[in-house]
């Protein structure tokens, strides 16, 4: 009896399930039948975006990226839902117009990518004036068959519509009162998809999206439609920011610099390098804490150790970057201005007037150039290096980049330096004086291409003597397998590349009249717990010492923040043993470099925010974009509203207050200079003309 009962209930269950299945299938097929045009529009638009990724980025994980497809579907469904507000005959026009617009986005980007290996930006629209000159060349050389396939999308949409019309489709499906309902239903579906998409976003996605500089990454994760919409917003935002408050900003700016002398203050270093050539090394993610560090008595950074010992080494030096990391370091190094409060100067404010080291040296007859073997559009360098006054920017397309010579983000540092030598040789032959910036790349997070960095062990080796008198080597894993450990391997590689570069420059005679300047661009953002392991490793247990152990060294958040120091050094091959061969321990920031070098090379920027370290000496203050600051005496964390005393001297409340005010003022003025383009004299003239002066 029980069995029969069970069998019956199973049977009912099955019937129920089947009915639900049939109902759903029916619903789906009914939905599909009633929305053929809309679905065709969605599918065609998503295919176009996918094709674009396929043609540009080749790798399967890129063009079939689920996240990008989800983003594309979401955008297209949301825009498409509005189509239901139109009558059937106008609805087609709506879908077609939108589809043509989206097709144009794909086509333009497809062509642009062939040309620049990057995606287009509306901010470049101002460049269209040049298209007339190169138009024919573009049509002949750049437009390829792949750029035309997108046009199939509107064509197919037109054909589908014609077929539906012929079958009298629209009259059959359309019930007038349902238009709004269908719009809302579709909008809801779009909304749900958007929520799913937002949930799948990682912090890295969010940060890259906000910065909008790694265009390939954004297109790969967000699809071309979201990328382009975001691009429009990031292009417009700075314009809106600079629309209000010009006069107030100008007044505060003038007040701020009213007391500043119009000539540099002389000291013993004035003009010591006048007329010398310059090689500046932008050392990616190099932190000062690796200097003189050894594993099993082998130095992590033998080259840097040598340079710091032979040259002028600033051992208490901080980079002052914000979200623009590398680009912010370049900005502050070149202009003595701080990163902007919103967006990044390189991306959002590249079209401002800057007073920069390359420009001031150009006035002295120098030829100026920059070299970076990555895509020229990364951090918008293509535009910004021009604004900063580099005569020539050698980027990826000027280097031979293959799969074999690539590490991490791109061309390996060793190969980059090797290929750069011949370019510098040529420049040296053609110019009396030159100034070049070389931006390294290999030592970049996530430091995971470990097998390509070459041998460098970050373990702890120990020779122990057994009871029978024999000896054996015991290896404690120590930093092996940690992110910090991998960083040291990568750092060791980059340091070796640097060493080879200096040797090769010397062989070519390129160091004879040259000053080498090196700065670490920012810290490597490594986990605090890894530093704890570095400083508190217990080899007996292969773990971290407990904090009540007498050997335990405190590494709290203050130590971590102060540990973000980067190297800054000035070196010439004959500096060793001279009075220039010394360590400067006064706290110094990236914004002090321009004033300090300016005095040594004989140029001056009245609107610099930093100071010549040899004038300000121990009275210096380094301001960070987040409002923190550090002096020789105290480090202040503005988020916590707390400070750490760095000497035994007492810190007064008044001192903290004064420095906080200084920090706020400096950050405001810096931001105003960039946002309102205050160094642009033409702008001032224009506004005076408008005021009728």
> What residue ranges bind Mn ion (CB under 5 A)?
284, 325-326, 521
Q: Of 317 and 379, which has the nearer Cβ to ligand GP9?
A: 379
Closest Cα to residue 522, out of 388, 324, 349, 387?
324
Stretch in the footprint of ligand GP9 (CB under 6 A) among 293-301, 438-446, 465-473, 539-547: 438-446
Q: How far is the CB of 312 from Mn ion (least distance, A)?
A: 23
Burial class from Cβ neighbours inside 10 Å (0-12, 13-18, 19+) for residue 25 reads exposed
Site size for ligand GP9, by CB under 6 A?
Answer: 8
Residue 450, CA distances (Å) to 102, 144, 201, 202, 293 in order: 42, 39, 28, 24, 19
Tokens found for residue 208:
């890259």
Q: Of 110 and 325, which has the nearer Cβ to Mn ion?
A: 325
Q: Of 269 and 378, which has the nearer Cβ to ligand GP9?
A: 378
Q: Scanning the structure block, which residue is given the tokens 């383009």?
A: 677
Given Mn ion, ligand GP9, none, residue 487, with its beta carbon under 5 to 8 Å by kind, binds none
Q: Of 112, 378, 394, 603, which lies in the binding site for ligand GP9, with binding defined by CB under 6 A?
A: 378
Q: How far is the CB of 690 from Mn ion (least distance, A)?
A: 41
Q: How far is the CB of 521 from Mn ion (least distance, A)?
A: 4
Question: Are the CB atoms for 447 and 487 separated by under 8 Å?
Answer: yes
> Is 215 a residue that touches ligand GP9 (CB under 6 A)?
no
Strand partners, 371: 394, 438
Strands (E), 364-451: 367-371, 392-394, 406-407, 410-411, 434-439
Q: How far is the CB of 284 from Mn ion (least distance, A)?
A: 5
Q: How far is the CB of 442 from Mn ion (least distance, A)?
A: 11
Cα(504)–Cα(332) distance, integer angstroms? 29
Given ligand GP9, Mn ion, none, residue 378, with its beta carbon under 5 to 8 Å by kind, binds ligand GP9
The interface with ligand GP9 within residues 320-339 (CB under 6 A) comprises 325-326
Listing from the earlier edge strand, what are the strands of the sheet with 621-623?
A: 621-623, 629-631, 634-637, 642-645
The interface with ligand GP9 within residues 66-95 (CB under 6 A) comprises none
For CA atoms 437, 438, 443, 449, give the dihedral sign: positive
Cα(642)–Cα(403) distance, integer angstroms? 49
Given Mn ion, ligand GP9, none, residue 231, with its beta carbon under 5 to 8 Å by kind, binds none
Q: Scanning the structure block, which residue is given the tokens 């940690």?
A: 482
Q: Of 48, 336, 374, 608, which lies in the binding site for ligand GP9, with binding defined by CB under 6 A?
A: 374
Given ligand GP9, Mn ion, none, residue 103, with its beta carbon under 5 to 8 Å by kind, binds none
Q: How far is the CB of 420 from ligand GP9 (least distance, A)?
A: 15
Quick one: angle between helices 215-241 and 203-211, nearest 10? 50
Q: How far is the CB of 617 from Mn ion (least distance, A)?
A: 29
Q: How far is the CB of 325 from Mn ion (least distance, A)?
A: 5
Given Mn ion, ligand GP9, none, residue 671, with its beta carbon under 5 to 8 Å by kind, binds none
Q: Of 284 and 310, which has the nearer Cβ to Mn ion?
A: 284
Q: Of 310 and 330, which has the nearer Cβ to Mn ion?
A: 330
Q: How far is the CB of 123 from ligand GP9 (least distance, A)?
A: 19
Q: Of 439 and 575, which has the nearer Cβ to ligand GP9?
A: 439
Q: How far is the CB of 301 from Mn ion (least distance, A)?
A: 17
Given Mn ion, ligand GP9, none, residue 150, with its beta carbon under 5 to 8 Å by kind, binds none
Given Mn ion, ligand GP9, none, residue 289, with its beta carbon under 5 to 8 Å by kind, binds none
Cα(41)–Cα(582) distance, integer angstroms? 69
Cα(104)–Cα(684) distance, integer angstroms? 39
Stretch in the footprint of ligand GP9 (CB under 6 A) among 4-12, 47-55, 334-342, 437-445: 437-445
Given Mn ion, ligand GP9, none, residue 374, with its beta carbon under 5 to 8 Å by kind, binds ligand GP9
Given Mn ion, ligand GP9, none, residue 377, with its beta carbon under 5 to 8 Å by kind, binds none
Cα(59)–Cα(47) distance, integer angstroms? 16
State which H helix or E strand residue 105 sits in: helix 88-116
Cα(294)–Cα(301) distance, integer angstroms? 8
Stretch in the footprint of ligand GP9 (CB under 6 A) among 306-314, 341-349, 439-447, 500-508: 439-447
* Phi and psi angles of residue 286, each rounded to the nearest 5 degrees, phi first: -85, 120
Stretch in the footprint of ligand GP9 (CB under 6 A) among 190-198, 270-278, 436-444, 469-477: 436-444
Given ligand GP9, Mn ion, none, residue 95, with its beta carbon under 5 to 8 Å by kind, binds none
Closest Cα to residue 174, out of 87, 85, 112?
87
- 479 CB-near residues (< 8 Å, 6+ apart): 295, 458, 459, 485, 488, 530, 533, 534, 537
Q: How far is the CB of 330 from ligand GP9 (least distance, A)?
A: 8
Given ligand GP9, Mn ion, none, residue 75, with its beta carbon under 5 to 8 Å by kind, binds none
Given Mn ion, ligand GP9, none, residue 81, with its beta carbon under 5 to 8 Å by kind, binds none
Q: Of 286 and 580, which has the nearer Cβ to ligand GP9?
A: 286
> Is 444 a residue that touches ligand GP9 (CB under 6 A)?
yes
**Per-residue DSSP letters for 260-280?**
S-SSPPP-TTTTTTTT-EEEE
Cα(145)–Cα(661) distance, integer angstroms? 60
Q: Scanning the structure block, which residue is given the tokens 């990826």?
A: 396
Residue 120, CA distances (Å) to 105, 125, 219, 241 in order: 9, 9, 11, 23
Residues that bind ligand GP9 (CB under 6 A): 325-326, 374, 378-379, 439, 441, 444
């Amino acid at each position: 009896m029980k069995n029969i009962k069970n069998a019956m209930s199973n049977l009912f269950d099955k019937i129920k399930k089947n009915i639900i299945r049939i109902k759903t299938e029916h619903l789906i097929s009914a939905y599909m039948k009633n929305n053929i045009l809309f679905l065709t529009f969605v599918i065609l638009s998503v295919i176009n975006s996918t094709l674009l990724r396929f043609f540009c980025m080749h790798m399967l994980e890129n063009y079939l990226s689920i996240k990008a497809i989800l983003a594309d579907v979401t955008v297209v469904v949301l825009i498409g839902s509005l189509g239901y507000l139109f009558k059937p005959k106008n609805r087609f026009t709506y879908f077609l117009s939108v589809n043509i617009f989206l097709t144009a986005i794909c086509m333009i980007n497809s062509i642009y990518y062939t040309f620049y290996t990057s995606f287009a930006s509306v901010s470049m629209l101002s460049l269209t004036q040049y298209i007339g000159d190169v138009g024919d060349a573009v049509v002949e050389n750049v437009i390829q068959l792949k750029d035309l396939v997108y046009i199939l999308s509107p064509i197919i949409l037109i054909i589908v519509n014609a077929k539906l019309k012929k079958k009298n489709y629209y009259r059959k499906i359309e019930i007038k009162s349902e238009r709004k309902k269908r719009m809302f239903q579709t909008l809801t579906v779009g909304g749900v998809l958007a929520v799913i998409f937002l949930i799948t976003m990682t912090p890295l996605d969010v940060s890259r999206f906000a910065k909008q500089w790694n265009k390939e990454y954004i297109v790969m994760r967000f699809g071309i439609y979201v990328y382009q919409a975001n691009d429009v917003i990031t292009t417009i935002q700075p314009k809106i920011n600079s629309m209000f408050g010009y006069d107030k900003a100008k007044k505060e700016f003038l007040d701020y610099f009213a007391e500043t002398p119009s000539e540099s203050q002389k000291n013993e270093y004035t003009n010591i390098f006048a007329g010398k050539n310059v090689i500046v090394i932008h050392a990616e993610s190099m932190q000062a804490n690796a200097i003189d560090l050894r594993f099993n008595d082998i130095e992590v950074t033998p080259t840097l150790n040598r340079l710091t010992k032979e040259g002028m080494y600033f051992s208490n030096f901080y980079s002052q970057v914000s979200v623009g990391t590398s680009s912010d370091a370049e900005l502050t190094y070149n202009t003595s201005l701080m990163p902007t409060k919103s967006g990044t100067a390189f991306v959002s404010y590249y079209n401002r007037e800057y007073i920069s080291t390359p420009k001031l040296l150009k006035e002295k007859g120098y030829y100026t150039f920059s070299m970076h073997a990555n895509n020229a559009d990364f951090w918008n360098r293509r535009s910004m290096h021009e604004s900063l006054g580099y005569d020539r920017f050698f980027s990826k397309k000027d280097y031979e980049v293959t799969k074999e010579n690539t590490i991490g983000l791109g061309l390996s540092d060793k190969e980059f330096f090797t290929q750069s030598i011949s370019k510098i040789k040529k420049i040296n032959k053609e110019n009396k004086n030159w100034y070049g910036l070389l931006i390294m790349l290999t030592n970049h997070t996530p430091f995971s291409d470990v097998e390509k960095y070459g041998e460098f062990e970050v373990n702890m080796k120990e020779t122990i003597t057994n009871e029978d008198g024999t000896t054996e080597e015991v290896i404690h894993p120590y930093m092996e397998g940690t992110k910090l450990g991998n960083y040291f391997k990568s750092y060791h590689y980059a340091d070796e590349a640097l060493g080879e570069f200096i040797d090769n420059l010397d062989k070519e005679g390129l160091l004879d009249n040259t000053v080498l300047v090196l700065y670490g661009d920012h810290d490597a953002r490594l986990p605090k717990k890894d530093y704890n392991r570095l400083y508190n490793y217990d080899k007996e247990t292969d773990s971290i010492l407990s904090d009540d152990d007498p050997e335990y060294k405190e590494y709290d958040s203050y130590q971590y923040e102060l540990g973000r120091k980067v190297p800054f050094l000035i070196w010439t091959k004959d500096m060793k043993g001279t009075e220039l061969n010394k360590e400067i321990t006064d706290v110094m920031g990236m914004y002090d470099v321009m004033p300090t070098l300016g005095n040594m090379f004989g140029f001056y920027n009245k609107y610099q925010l930093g100071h010549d370290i040899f004038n300000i000496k121990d009275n210096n203050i380094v301001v960070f974009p987040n409002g923190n600051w550090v002096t020789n005496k105290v480090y202040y964390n503005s988020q916590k509203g707390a400070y750490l005393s760095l000497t035994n001297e007492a810190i007064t409340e008044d001192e903290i207050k004064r420095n906080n005010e200084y920090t706020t003022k400096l950050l405001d003025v810096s931001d105003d200079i960039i946002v309102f383009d205050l160094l642009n004299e033409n702008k001032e003239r224009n506004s005076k003309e408008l005021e009728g002066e």
